Chain A
Amino acid sequence: MATKKACERFIEEVHKYGDMKQTGVSLRYMLEFGSVPSDRNMIIAAQFLHKELPIRIARRAVELDSLPFGLSNKPAVLKVRDWYLDSFRDLRSFPEIKDINDEKEFTQMIKMIKVRHNNVVPAMALGVQQLKKSLDPKLDYEDFDEVHQFLDRFYMSRIGIRMLIGQHVEVHDPNPPPNRIGYIHTKLSPTQVAKDASEDARYVCLREYGSAPEINIYGDPSFTFAYMPTHLHMMVFELVKNSLRAVQERYMDSDKVAPPIRIVVADGEEDVTIKVSDEGGGIPRSGLPKIFTYLYSTADNPINERLDDGAGADVVTMAGYGYGLPISRLYARYFGGDLQIISMEGYGTDAYLHLSRLGDSQEPLP
């Protein structure tokens, strides 16, 4: 049959692209390139993406098909795999980019691809839930090490793809806000972001518990550096949210005043480090490895089976997915930084967010 043959050829193409070598891009390169958005540069960038995106997407599509424990066959995962295959097809069938009009159409197309993939995280989370239900409850998080490693690679890759697409689309903005190159803010104040993220987190806490502990921020308010405000906001928000929840639950029924959460921002030569400290009772040392896994959460599960309503990705809850910390760490590592959690059982927890300033580190390309 014609369709069967075409199908086979398509699958072969996916595998072929999935084996090709990925090319990383550094923050510094994105900054330099994006600061000169001439027609010629845009065409060159589009041509690069036209080659690079199918490679990254195919690699993930191939992996999605070969997950352990039958994860690949879960309905939610099949859905995600189809999104990846559709996007691959869209990219491969787009003709060569020769002039600025081609480039504009290409940009439109990759923008749509990004939108198609908006709900990948909750969808994958649902797939993992579906898997958990069908498995032996005696298996614990350690047995799922392959799945964790896959998800780390998968989400890291997704961060990269969305970064590349997003930067390219944003650089087309004819009236960018000052100090912006695409998504990158060249003079981002980490203390300001910490303030904003803290307020947002306190708001969520207030809504859920009726009260929220105070947050104090220490750091030089005039210090700025080049980074992605959305990424940073997301990570600090996540850490503060966890701290607020821990302190709130510890002091809710007590007469004592809940001790404030302390955020310290330090600027070094290699790194900018943001520490979020709380006195929320801490995590026992044996429990620490679990907090970075994708299948663990101490809260009730808020995911339900409604994947397509598009609202799922934006509704913020205090807890429940079990994805906040591991994904925050991927964001930190994406540009050469890291996220470390140290806890003092019986006292509280410190989270250290290291953001690399050097800007030369290449994207990690799992």
Chain B
Amino acid sequence: MARNVNFDLNHPLVEAGLESPADEDVVHNSFSELIAEQSQNGLSDAFELQELQNELDEEGRDNLAYLTGRGLNDREWEDDERQTDPLVGERWSSDTLKVLSSMPSRTIGRSRGAIISQYYNRTMQLRRRRQSRPSIRDFSHSARPSIRGYGMEADCIDAEGAGASKRERLVNNLQNLSVSDRIRMLRAMPLSLAEKSELRTSTLQKERRTRSGSQIPCCSQLKYYIIIAVRQCWYSWLSFLHSLQLWQVALKRVSGRFGTGVLSYFLFLKTLLFFNLFLFLVTGAFLVLPQAVHPPVLSADRQSFSGLELLTGAGYFSDTVMYYGYYCNYTLHRSCRDDDGGQNISVSTGTTSSCLSSHHSYNMPLAYFFIIGAAFFFTCIILVYSMSKSFGQSFRIDKSHSILAMKVFCSWDFKVIKKTSVKLMSEKICTQLKELLAEVNQKYVKNTVCQQLWRLMVHGLAWAICIASTSACVYGIYHFSDFMHQQQQQALTNKHPMLKEASLLALPALVSLINLLLPGLFNLAAWMEDYESPSVGTYVAIGRNLMLKVSVLCVLCYHWLGRVAADPKSINLTCWENFVGQELYRFLLMDFIFILLDTLFGEFLWRFFSEKVLKRRRKPVFDIARNVLELIYGQTLAWLGVLFTPLLPAVQILKLLLLFYIKKSSVMMNCQAPRKPYRVSQMTTIFITLLCFPSFLGASVCVTYTMWSITPSTSCGPFRGLKTMFQAGKRWVEQLERDNPNLSVLARAHAYLVENPLFLFVGAGIFLIVIYFHSQVVDGQRKIISLLQEQIENEGEDKKFLITRLQHIHEQKRTSKRRLKSQDSNY
């Protein structure tokens, strides 16, 4: 930490930093001699001390009375440990204050010169990090050999020769950085736009000069042009993306009225929309389109369209490209013979168009298998990336103690622009500050044993209610699904076919009803429990909700994969995948309908009720956590269903689009922002994590299990006839091996790596070890942070010590001078 600090009089930092009207020219010798005998290392030419002496000699008003009279701060110290610390209670003289405030570490935020100096240091560090060892011939001979390796001096020579100020050195550094680094540095500088423009212009001019001066080989010039072209393309792509920015105005209105919390729900909806769009594009382009262009031969008994299909997804839709069963299990060929049954091509009149060779073939089973796998893989990568980015922004290694300070400085939401919302936000902050003050001021009252026991009982009761209700509902779903299964087994033919189809809607309706009503029960239980800290209450509510949805989905997966897929003949199903796909479609649709009903009754009618009947002025609160969990549930269904219904992402996209507008109108009309403090970044991280871990992971485990172990139907779909869906990939590898014996390595690799579960175990083990190492690194960093904090405190103590010693010496000198003066006057 002992950097050589430059106390040069002409140092621009000092010039820029000092605001005191110090007389910089007068140098006094006696004080420096005094200091020289007190200290060991070269404080003798310390500028601040000379200045201090100048001040004291010029003004006569600094007397002891003044020093002991006014204080730096008028705080009364209560029983703090600081009272015993003499340094803080000291009264500093005005010169000491000036000295303190012109210390280099304090001037960073103050002036332009200081900012330029700081950024010079930063660009220097960046250059050091980025630079590889340059070759010797890049240097002029005047570069000193010992520092030749750094490559810095070569460009600094002429700069120094010109009497460079820090600004020119900064321009120099900027010029030597890569273009993206330079732009990043420029943008992050806290200077005005005009100055940044000037810096940029000087950098570009300098660059042009050096480029035209030296002979740059043509390949690096080409590289330079390529980089410029790529940058332009990137900017135009960003502009294009921005111009089709979805719902910009709507989001601004929502954030203007409700703030960042409610906005996060709509942003989450937008994120889900993009995930589904990606899925839809992938499956649409590679699965739906080829199959739609080459429709298979359809059976004769195709049902006609009746309105019920939109709700049940069965009937007319079951023989369309929407479901798994439509896809063929052979390779599609582009040929000019029109014996593709059902295809409406106009027969070319006699003239034969050239037949395409069998190169343009499309192996449908393989494509189906790989596309679904690839879609899940890329979704996983994108999810993990956004989760880690969000986690990085919100996670802080050390616990923060400055709660009140953060509340004062970070709680005002600048996005809110509506007048009434601004007023509400002020009230909210006021209330929170009062609560925090009360919390901080009162001594922690320990609950008596009786009270603790009572609280434990209440918590236990609430949890018992929640778990019992969840288990009861899950049990109910299990038996109801069994009942419906048996009903279909009996195949009562005297039932009207429409009624039979409508009865398929019973299970989805029940599940959606449970999803809607049970969280209300959980809210009641939480109200009974009365948590002290609102964030704990939110986490508990999320936990209970999650528990409900996970158990419901588990039971449903068991019902589909364990009952229906295991024995499809018992319910007269020729194609169980179609049935499961239709079930998922029905569940998705019912979920949407029930959300609509909830919005209508829960928000719209409740508002009327509370205003007219209960005569309350407050509108219902928009429950962000519950709504986000519903979105996650819907997305899990969509991911579960992609394998069986490649068009399900399209349905989900439509659902999300409609949901956005419905929720937006409802929120604007009926709701108000949550009154409890809502920590946005933490909540966003939690939601993205929930989307990744229970939701996506569960869906991918189900899909993997289906592909790995369940026998596909023998009469429909792209995997008919195979033992498992996974065999499609294996068959292709075997075919490759047959066609080209050189690729036997690939076949063997496939057999050993992909099919062998040991490889997966080893992979997972390595992954866990890497995670463990990283957590150890984080622990180490925590320790380093505490050590550095200690060091900062020690440095602070050093500073205080020095200042007090100087004060002391100064006082001694003054008293001795006065004594001398009074003695003189007495004579």
Q: Do A and B bind each other?
A: no
